[in-house]
A and B are shown apart, each in its own frame.
Chain A
Amino acid sequence: MIVADDAVLFREGMARILTEVGFEVTGLARNGAELVGQVRRDAPDVVITDLRMPPSFADEGIEAAAAIRSFAPNVGLMLLSQYVEVHHALRLMEEFDGAVGYLLKDRVSDLSSFAVDVRRVAAGHVVIDQELVSRLVSRRRERDPLAELSDRERQVLALMAQGLTNAALSEELVVSLKTVEGYIRNVFTKLGLQPGEREHRRVLAVLQFLRQQ
């Protein structure tokens, strides 16, 4: 993997600790251009990059990720940021065909679950930060369509939005795969959503639904 961040302490610390938990860090980059260059030379399984980097301190991370996806579509892309914003999440789900993650930087302090998330992205799945999702789920609405959902169904909805697969859901909720599929069917029926074929399509549909009203 390659780690990109403009803050040297964080970049070096990440590399060291990720190595400790068993990842092989093949490169370190200070900005988007360096990251893209390194991936071009030697494509890793996954890239961990800060979203806001020099020179513009806007969304270099996403731009670099888009560039990498265009020439190395198999590289997993994990974006870290001090803030998680809905419009970024929607863009990642719309433009990137899976294998993409979007997490608060804070998440790296829980090493084991962060390692899981990185591996999921590397394996082609989708990871969306739980804070973003819980903010959307608990958002105040005039007429809340989520009121029709049971607590369990709401929990399933939030986990789906975070990008969990059905298998991951059954593991998380400690229920059978069939039960999970039942919950999901209920949620989609109650909310009037069309279940997407691909996992990131499902995430996008849920996020867009939560964003409305």
Chain B
Amino acid sequence: MSALSVATEATEAYAEAPSEPPSAAAEAGLVMVALLVALLVGYGWSLGFHLDNVHNGLIAASFSVMGLYVVRMRPRHREGWLLVAVGVVHAVMFFGRQYGRVAGPLPAASWIGWVGVWPLPLAIALFGWTFMAFPHGRMLSPRWHHAGLGMFAVAALMATTSALWPVDYDRVGLVSSHPLEVPGSQVAARLWPYLLPSYALFQVLWTAAVVVRLRLARGDEAHQMRWLVYATVMATVLLATGLAVFRTAVPGLLALPLIPVAAGIAILKYRLYDIDPVVNKTLVIGFLVLVITIGYVAIVFGVGALIPVGTGWLSLLTTAVVAVAFEPLRRRAQHVADRLVYGQRATPYEALSRLSAQLDETPEELLDGIAATVANAVGATEVVVWVGEVARLTPHAGWPGRPDPAEPSRLGDLDRGTHSHTLPIVYRGTVRGAITVCKLVGEALTPAEERLLADLVAQTGLVIAQQQQAQELRAAARRLVTAQDAARRRIERDLHDGAQERLVTMGLELGSLEEQAKATGEPELAARVRAVRAQLLEATAELREFARGLHPMVLTQAGLEAALGMLADRSAIPVRLTVALAGQLPREVEATAYYVASEALTNAARHSGAEVVTVEVAKVAEGLQVRVSDDGCGGARQGDGSGLQGLADRLAAVGATLTIDSPAGGGTRIRTVLPCA
């Protein structure tokens, strides 16, 4: 069976409630098994205390209880039955060994003690099989299945040998001897040491099986494997520490029940309890204990050997060092543990602080940043941020890349399969958008991830609301600017067709009148008419310049380059003009560029006292760049009444920013890039 189909099965069967109500007969059967184990272990326990038998009793009790619980909840669960089998075999062995050790042999002690000895290889193989088949009771692949069968064959050979001859009797301490008198015990005793290393091979086999499965496992199965591995590693560490430090196996023995308990949780409750934080904390605490111990030993023995001071002082010194180093060490250990346990996933604090750091970015990038933060925080394969109303959501940002533009979707249609999660973004009671999170097949969101996601979504609601407000503001500003431009054009046109036309016609009539006065010999009248005409011409000239200032017709007629040339012609300061345009520019961009150059030139003429002004207008990748620099007195600032504020406002309306570099005495350089999208 492939790893994938195993994972699918796990997804189908994760219910915690009994999959079907157990029948009365099945219930009775379970009770019988439970009573049998309780009887064997309880009676065996009452027969005396032998440390080398305790592990059998503990395994019997813990595996039976957990296995029976699992099969009661999920009668068809193979792993549950395997656990029960391990428990029952150990219960029988425990009883046999305890019974066989009572001095002044009890009745049938020889045979009952014998039952406590020879099944050992089979019990070990069964234990191994249980590990290899975890969490569903099936082997990873046919190949592993064959390996497991091979293990059982060897175990059966060993068990038969042990059943026929007293090869394993030396270390058990039974009162009665082996019940069978089969010839060839000498040969068996010589062969036995060559069979014993099989136990080590068994251990290698099932460890390999667990490691391989752990690496292949995804989603739920990975969570379940982590439970088992955590318990096994903890038990092993406790056993090793106990043996090394205290010279006793008791801590390891006491830790044995951890394994079936972890297995049971993994099978039945892994959705409720996330193992990752437990592993995380264990790593941190373990690391700190280790470091403090080493530190203590190093100071007390190391420093103590070099400098002859009292042990009291050394303890004090150690305490001080530990006190100072503890917090930084803990933080470092926490960090390493986070990386080990969660991979690149951020802690909630990291995620939120990263998010707040991104709040400074431009709104477009901000949502991308949120998508990346979410992906990072929950280990998602894909995150999409949707913006809009419940019935009209469009993808605006995403991770790992921005999503393709798509038709608006309804909130209910966003979910795509079991590995996708949709969270509506609600701000002040209104849906403003949604975040969809895709994880690997079968991988669910842990409660911690769900909480973090909820926090991030709340922040996103705020961001989207602000972004929409900013967009509305900018759109309003743009509308104002456009309306203003339109109004200027309309007034210029009205003047051209109205007042200017009338004044010119009046000039024509006055000219005619003047000629008539001259012709009829009225030089005085002619002179007065000429004077009126001159005044009229002055008025039309003023009006002409005013109209030109409203909207330069040359911009509409001949484009930006000609309009900039006109500005240069009329500038009070010599202008060096460089224009590098390619292709047609939007009218709005041309008008804004002209306005920038015009305002900048007016400013330079009024305030800078410059000898020359350079105007450079060029199409660049980001848009149309306008740079105006002079060699004047500098010191220009936005908001000093120089018109730069108006310029900045107008540029903001079209999504551009004004850069002003104007140190006192160092000339003024203003620069902007107008987006041409």
> Chain A interface (Cβ within 8 Å of chain B)?
6-7, 9-10, 13-14, 16-17, 20-21, 52, 57-59, 82-83, 85-88, 105-106, 108-112, 114, 135-136, 139-142, 211, 213
A111 touches B511 (CB 8 A): yes
Counting contact residues on chain B (CB < 8 A from A), the size range is 35 or more
Q: Report if A86-B566 is in contact (Cβ < 8 Å); known contacts: A106-B537, A106-B540.
A: yes
Q: Is the CB of A9 within 8 A of B566?
A: no
Query: Is the CB of B138 closer than 8 A to any CB of chain A?
Result: no
Contact A136 B569, beta carbon cutoff 8 Å? yes
Contact B566 A85 (CB under 8 A): yes
**9 tightest CB-CB pairs across the interface, nearest first?**
A109-B507, A109-B511, A142-B574, A87-B562, A7-B501, A111-B511, A17-B512, A105-B504, A10-B505
Is there contact, CB below 8 Å, between A109 and B508?
Answer: yes
Complex: A100 Cα to B565 Cα, angstroms: 23
Knowing A109-B511, A136-B569, the reply to whether A13 touches B505 (Cβ < 8 A) is: yes
| Contact A20-B572, Cβ < 8 Å, known A85-B566, A87-B554 | no
Q: Are B508 and A17 in contact (CB under 8 A)?
A: yes
A52 touches B553 (CB 8 A): yes
With A82-B544, A140-B572 already in contact, the answer to whether A108 and B496 are too (CB < 8 A) is no
CA gap between A139 and B573 in the complex, in Å: 9
Select from chain A the residue with minimum beta-carbon distance to B553.
A83
Knowing A10-B504, A20-B512, A141-B574, the reply to whether A58 touches B557 (Cβ < 8 A) is yes
Q: How many A-B residue pairs have CB under 8 A?
A: 98
Nearest Cβ distance between residue A21 and chain B, in whole angstroms?
7
**B493 on the A face (CB < 8 A):** yes
Selected contact of A13 from candidates B500, B508, B544, B611, CB within 8 Å: B508
- Nearest Cβ on chain A to B576's Cβ, whole angstroms: 7
Q: Can you give 23 A-B contacts (C-beta < 8 A)?
A: A6-B497, A9-B501, A10-B505, A10-B508, A13-B508, A52-B496, A58-B557, A83-B548, A85-B566, A87-B558, A87-B565, A88-B558, A106-B507, A106-B537, A106-B541, A108-B508, A108-B511, A109-B508, A109-B537, A114-B511, A136-B569, A140-B573, A141-B574
Contact residues in B for A16 (Cβ distance below 8 Å): 512
B422 at the interface (CB under 8 A from A): no
> A140 near B571 (CB under 8 angstroms)?
yes
Q: Is the CB of B569 within 8 A of A135?
A: yes
For the complex formed, measure the closest distance between the CB of B531 and the CB atoms of chain A, giving whole angstroms: 13
A110 to B512, CA, bound (A): 8
Minimal beta-carbon separation of B16 from chain A (angstroms): 78
Interchain CB contact under 8 A, B507 and A108: yes
Residues of the A chain whose Cβ atoms lie less than 8 Å from the Cβ of B548: 83
- Rounded to whole Å, the gap between the CB of A36 and the closest CB of chain B is 20
Say whether A211 contacts B565, CB under 8 Å: yes
Q: Which of A14, A57, A82, A140 has the most CB of B within 10 A?
A: A82
Q: State the CA gap A211–B575 with chains docked (Å).
A: 12
CA distance A82 to B510 in the complex (A): 18
* Chain B stretch 569-588: residues in CB contact (< 8 A) with chain A: 569-576
In Å, the complex CA distance between A20 and B500 comes to 24
CB distance from B553 to the nearest CB of A (A): 6
Say whether B497 contacts A7, CB under 8 Å.
yes
Contacts of B556 in A (CB 8 A): 58
B533 CB within 8 Å of chain A: yes
User: Bound state CA distance, A110 and B548, in angstroms?
Assistant: 24
Q: B544 touching A109 by the CB < 8 A rule? A: no
Residues of A within 8 A of B276 (CB): none
Query: Beta-carbon contacts of B525-547 to A below 8 Å, as 1s and 0s?
Result: 00000000100110011001001
> Which of B507, B553, B574 is the one whose CB lies under 8 Å from A140?
B574
**CB interface residues, B 466-524, toward A, < 8 Å:** 493, 496-497, 500-502, 504-505, 507-512, 514-515
Q: Are A111 and B512 in contact (CB under 8 A)?
A: yes
With both chains docked as a complex, state the minimum distance between the C-beta of A132 and any C-beta of chain B, in angstroms: 9
Besides the known contacts A82-B544, A111-B514, 6 further A-B residue pairs in the complex with CB atoms under 8 A apart: A13-B512, A82-B496, A87-B562, A109-B536, A109-B537, A142-B574
Min CB distance, B612 to chain A, in Å? 5
Q: How far is the CA of A57 from the CA of B494 in the complex (A)?
A: 12
- Across-interface contacts of A10 in B (CB, < 8 A): 501, 504-505, 508
- A108/B569 in contact, CB under 8 A: no
Residues of A with C-beta under 8 A to B536: 109
Give the complex CA separation of A59 and B554 in angstroms: 10
From B502, B541, B553, B569, contact of A86 by CB (8 A): B569
Q: Specify which chain B residues have a CB less than 8 angstroms from the CB of A59 in the assembled complex.
A: 557
Return the chain A residue nearest B497 by Cβ. A7
Chain B residues with CB under 8 Å of A135's CB are 569-570
CB contacts (< 8 Å) of A106 on chain B: these are 504, 507, 537, 540-541
- Which residue of A has the minimal Cβ distance to B575? A140
Q: What is the minimal beta-carbon distance from A83 to any residue of chain B, in angstroms? A: 6
Taking CB as reference atom, which chain A residue is nearest B568?
A139
- Smallest CB separation, B614 vs chain A (Å): 10
Selected contact of A21 from candidates B515, B553, B573, B611, CB within 8 Å: B515
For B572, what are the chain A residues with a Cβ–Cβ distance below 8 Å? Answer: 140
**Chain A nearest Cβ from B677, distance in angstroms:** 26
* Nearest CB of B to A68, in Å: 20
The B234-254 residues at the A interface (CB cut-off 8 A) are: none
Point out the residues of chain B lying under 8 angstroms from A139, CB to CB. 569
Task: Report the bound CA distance from A99 to B505 in whole Å.
Answer: 25
Q: Which residues of B contact A86 (CB under 8 A)?
A: 565-566, 569
Contact of B612 among A9, A13, A14, A142 (CB under 8 A): A142
Q: Report B185-199 CB contacts with A as 1/0, cut-off 8 Å.
A: 000000000000000
How many angstroms between the C-alpha atoms of A139 and B575 in the bound complex? 10
* Nearest CB of chain B from residue A100's CB, rounded to whole Å: 18
User: A10: nearest residue on chain B (CB-CB)?
Assistant: B505
CB-CB < 8 A to B612: which residues of A? Answer: 142
Q: Decide: A112 and B562 in contact? CB cutoff 8 A.
A: no
Give complex CA distance A202, B515 in Å: 34
Residues of A within 8 A of B508 (CB): 10, 13-14, 17, 108-109
Question: What's the least CB distance linking A129 to chain B, in Å?
Answer: 12
Structural contact, B493 and A57, CB atoms closer than 8 A:
yes
A57 to B: closest C-beta gap in Å: 7
- By a CB distance below 8 angstroms, the chain A residues around B497 are 6-7
Q: Which residues of B contact A6 (CB under 8 A)?
A: 497
Q: Measured between C-beta atoms, what is the minimum distance from A91 to chain B in Å?
A: 9
